[in-house]
Chains A and B, each alone.
Chain A
Amino acid sequence: MNPHRRHPFIRVATILVYFFLYAPILVLVLYSFNASRTNILFAGFIPSFGALQMGGSTVVQSPCGPFHWFCELSRNREVGLAARNTLTIAFISTFISTIIGTMAALAIQRYNFRLKSFSQLSLYVPIVIPEIVMGIGILTLFSQLFGILNGAFGLEGDSRLSLGLGTVIVSHIAFSVPFVTLVVQARLQGFDKSFEEAAMDLGANELITFWRVTFPMILPGVLSGALLAFTLSLDDFVITFFTTGPGATTLPIYVYGLLRRIITPQVNALSTVWIAIVLTVVFLLQRLQSREAK
């Protein structure tokens, strides 16, 4: 029996599901080259380079040619700011959640302590409650807390505590940590304790054992935890929506705001850039992985 033999039904279903997954994305990318400004119908590519010329709502000629909307996008300062915020939030929250999540995974997997089962349980809670519950909870917490603090210290004007990058980062850490912990924990489950015992046996104390043996061996797990935290942060809409404030708009929030008002090919261009970056990163990671496997 060939284990790779599959029923024709499975093959057809597979093709259809992949089509379902990719058709919308392909349309999205195609429309980022749309000559029509209203972006309702695909009016073809912008045919030529040169000074901007409009024919009705159709772009006839652009300095960037078919890449007209990408050029427009690059001039959009709001997008630039949102991109910067998004990356700042993702990097900082990933960094912190990876560290404390790895620590927690080590604790739960390796040690016995009184709060162990409570810790494990509390890490499952954010996974099994809807994000919006956590989002409005954190919003309530911050507004109450800031209200009290601003009142107590008589903070006024710019020095008032308010929602912003800080609150978003702190909240992103809260929902990333459980995922980091679970990923690292899964890695530690297959980790034989005798590696650490061997290091200690050979004269390494606990700290050296950790840095020279444990950490390098769980590093792939830590990295995939970090990658997960990073993508969760980049992708997050709900929690950010409730914890963000003026000046801390992220790309998803910005796009959402835009979509409620207008639909322009700039959003498509933004999507295309985003997808291109994701594909590049995935491709590089794949290359790296297959190199490591050898």
Chain B
Amino acid sequence: MTQTSEFAVELRDVVKTFKTPEGTLLNAVDHVNMQIKHGEFFSMLGSSGCGKTTSLRMMAGFEWPTEGDVYIEGNAQGHTPPFQRPVNTVFQSYALFQHMTIYQNIAFGLEMERAPADEVKTRVGRLLDMVQLNGMERRYPKQLSGGQQQRVALARALVKMPNVLLLDEPLGALDLKLRKEMQLELKAIQQKVGITFVYVTHDQEEALTMSDRIAVMSKGKVMQVGIPVEIYERPQSRFVADFIGESNFFEGIVQSVEQDRATVLVPSLKAEVTGLNTGQVGVGQKAIISIRPEKIRISEQPALKTNFFNGTVKTTTYIGSDTHVYVDMGGGVTLKVWEQNKISSLDPRAYYVQGQKVCLNLFPENTLILAES
């Protein structure tokens, strides 16, 4: 694999317009820029219709951009058909050829390259080893379990040693346990072969677990690109904070800015809240405060001098590792707080109970001040 360019895949100002059944035009992908580095495990994360699969299909060559272009290894792809691109795809439905054996499926791509027979044999053998499907060569896809079919799909694409492997929700059809196993295995395989993986998923946990970097997409646009920690801990918008994990939000007007902190007057709380000014907002601007439920400290007495708020426990939900506490702050505002169950107890009084007066401490370093989008 020769590295001719800084990026394995690059989307430059790509637009893809589809005609809806009603006859109107829709930008499934709307002026997207994306740079995917060599050897990276890159995920596109978003709900259905966000443009992640369309972006992937344009990289593969199944769709062509309406505007802009896809660059693979620095080469503009234009209308290059899929079979002339140095990328391979693992399909959501696996798309294994039902009339061919596992061996024939995996060998298909090499056959297309007119690789010599003995080379095909060794390379297919190596891949079968890698995905632990030795002895299955002569079976047909229908005779395999879902997880095994998934491995065949992976082997079939990887055997071509593409510059980039595109994966379209490859684990979507598997049950939860198998999916978790395959996540780790996929990551291990990616590190072993060193190929750039572009991974499409709607499962945030999956994206956070496996990816080197994640692009969060919505309505055809890229909302944020970053390493998993950044995406979770420093979301740049209310959308990302809300989409990845859970968060409490307040709206307000910035009162003062001091170094990396900002103080916001929140009308619904009738109080000021101080937090990290990650949104770089200025005094007088509207801002959104975001704080994750597990980062709120709940106590009976205030633990902070400022930035604490009194409320009443509305409901609690015991979910094993945590207790979810919903606190009524008055004025129609409810905050969610995840409290880890550090003590093993059967006594209901060991947990917060409905109607209990509590104090919520919002540590400024855990509280993010975002610009209004």
Contacts and interface: CB of A to CB of B under 8 A. Distances in A.
A200 B95 contact: no
Contact of A203 (B91, B95, B98, B113): B113
Contacts of A213: 97
Contact of B112 (A197, A202, A206, A217): A202
Nearest to A203: B112
Interface string A189-201: 0001011011111
A220 B44 CA distance: 39
B60 A203 contact: no
A205 interface: yes
Given A197-B62, A198-B95, A205 B89 contact: no
B91 A194 contact: yes
B93 A208 contact: no
B16 to A, nearest CB: 16
Given A201-B88, A201-B89, A195 B109 contact: no
A194 B83 contact: no
Interface in B88-131: 88-89, 91-93, 95-99, 108-109, 112-113
A133 B108 CA distance: 51
B93 A194 contact: yes
Contacts of B97: 195, 198-199, 212-213, 216-217
Contacts of A192: 93, 95
A201 B96 CA distance: 12
Contacts of A216: 97, 99
| Leading 10 A-B pairs by shortest Cβ distance | A203-B112, A202-B109, A198-B95, A194-B95, A200-B82, A216-B99, A201-B89, A203-B83, A194-B91, A201-B82
A201 B91 CA distance: 10
B324 interface: no
Nearest to B156: A202
B81 interface: yes
B62 A217 contact: no
A208 B112 contact: yes
A28 B99 CA distance: 44
A197 B99 contact: no
Interface of A: 192, 194-195, 197-206, 208, 212-213, 216-217
A206 B289 CA distance: 54
Contacts of B108: 199, 202, 204, 212
Interface string B55-92: 00000111000000000000000000111000111011
Contacts of A199: 97, 108
B38 interface: no
Nearest to A215: B99
Given A201-B60, A205-B81, A208-B112, 16 more contacts: A192-B95, A194-B95, A197-B60, A197-B91, A198-B96, A199-B97, A199-B108, A200-B61, A201-B61, A201-B62, A202-B109, A202-B160, A203-B109, A205-B83, A213-B97, A216-B97
Nearest to B99: A216
Nearest to A197: B62
A112 to B, nearest CB: 10
A194 B95 CA distance: 6
A19 to B, nearest CB: 41
Contacts of A217: 97-99
A197 B93 CA distance: 12
Nearest to A213: B97
A222 to B, nearest CB: 13
Contacts of B95: 192, 194-195, 197-198
A192 B156 CA distance: 18
Q: Which of A198, A203, A204 has the most CB of B within 10 A?
A: A198
B239 to A, nearest CB: 30
